[in-house]
Amino acid sequence: MAIQFSTTVRDARLDTIESTIGTGPTLEIRSGTVPANCAAADGGTVLATLTLPSDWMAAASGGAKAISGTWQDLSCDATGTATYFRIKQSTTCHIQGTVTATSGGGDMEVSSTSFTLGASFTVTSFTLTDGNA
């Protein structure tokens, strides 16, 4: 049998992610191949960079933690196809995952994966879910 945690413990673990990364991290949406892990070098092109709200994730509930507020960039940095994201504090990557259009099943979903220089985009879904239920 696998180890199992209560919902209270899973929620606490998720809330610790946000407090460890801190307030106002940056979200980079990038093209190219997803790096092997957060310690690997950035790849592809930065399509958009935005500073997330101070309280960027809602309080964990039921073993999940979703975005807080609106995650939107009114002016993309480059033109290309979004494939992955990185959430960083300063230059340190703390979270990375895939990007797809809304309902595409990626780790993060955005209004469209086709980014155009100067156009806007919105993150439509991003939820962290803790395992060991």
Tens-level pLDDT at each residue, the chain (133 residues): 688 999 999 999 999 999 999 999 999 999 999 999 999 999 999 999 999 999 999 999 999 999 999 999 999 999 999 999 999 999 999 999 999 999 999 999 999 999 999 999 999 999 999 988 6
Give 55's contacts (C-beta < 8 A, 6+ positions apart): 23, 68, 69
Q: Under a CB-based contact definition with an 8 Å cutoff, are residues 87 and 21 in contact?
A: yes
By the 10 Å C-beta count (0-12 exposed, 13-18 middle, 19+ buried), 124 is classed as middle
pTM for the predicted model, two decimal places: 0.93
DSSP letter for each residue of 14-76: HHHHHHHH-SS-EEEEE-SPPPSSTTSPP-S-EEEEEEPPSS-BPPPBTTEEEB-S--EESS-
Amino acid (one-letter) located at 7: T
3-state helix, strand, coil in the chain (%, to 5): 10, 40, 50
